[in-house]
Amino acid sequence: MAETSVFSKIRAGEIPGEILHETDRVFVLKDIAPKAPVHLLVIPKTEQYRTVVELAAGDPSLLAEVVAVANKVAAANSDGDFRLIFNTGEGAGQTVFHVHAHVLAGGLTEGSLGDG
C-alpha cells in the first residue's frame, strides 16, 4: 500500500495546515512555498490519482470539480483572474504524487512562471 500523502495527513489533522475551502470531494490549502501573492492548492480527497492525466482518465467529473473550485477560490481570494497549473511528473516539478492543482493569482504577468 502506498504511503499516505502529506495532503491527506493535513486533512486528517496529523500535521498542521489550514483548510480554506472544502466540498465533499476536494479541499483547498495555501501553498507553503508560494510562487505568487495568491498560491492555493486544490486537492481531491482521494489519493487514487497521482497525476492530472490519471484523474482525467479515471474521474473526469472530479477533474471538473477541481477546476470549478479553483475558479471559486480565485474569485474569493483575488480578482478572479488566475493561472491553473498541474505539475505532472518529477521532471515537471511534481513533488507530491497526489494530484493537485496550483491556483496562482495576484500580480501575474505574461511570461511569469508559476512553477512549484
8 Å CB contact between 107 and 22: no
For the chain, where are the alpha helices, taking DSSP H only? Answer: 6-11, 52-58, 60-77
Spot the catalytic one: 39, 98, 100, 102: 100
Separation between Cα atoms, residue 79 and residue 62, nearest integer Å:
25
Q: Which three cell numbers stand for residue 27?
A: 479541499
Q: Could you confirm whether 100 is annotated as catalytic?
A: yes
Catalytic residues, by residue number, are 100
